[in-house]
Amino acid sequence: MTKHVHADVMLQYAHDAQETDKPWERWQWQTKLMQEGDVWNNCLLNPSFDVSYKYRRKPKVISVTLVNSEIVSWPEPIKHIAEINYKSFIIKHKSFARALYKSNNQYKDN
């Protein structure tokens, strides 16, 4: 017998449930029909871990309050070496650059 398709993320979810009474606030879902890069939806309740959906933990966010009291937030940087074809973004001041991905050790514009 094989394990449930979401067994690994269910285990992560169980660990979150040990730390908070609202673990779904740390999780997102999307249908398997959506393409890579499509929007992830925040879980509003305990996820059902339906096999026709994808689930992930929300990316951690770093927030800083500037001198003018403006709060600026961005995703926590990746702390591991990305695999080939892993989508990443280059952030420029006041705008976002196009998505780049690495294929055959060369960066290509998406």
Q: Per-residue pLDDT tens for 54-108?
A: 999 988 888 889 889 998 887 777 676 666 666 665 555 544 444 444 445 554 4
Is 4's pLDDT higher than 80?
yes
Question: What DSSP line would sit under 44-103, residue for residue?
Answer: SS-----TTEEEEEPPPEEEEE-TTS-EEEEEPPP-SPPPTT-EE--EETTEEPPPEEEE
The overall pTM is greater than 0.75: no
Residue 73 has what pLDDT? 82
Is 48's pLDDT higher than 60?
yes
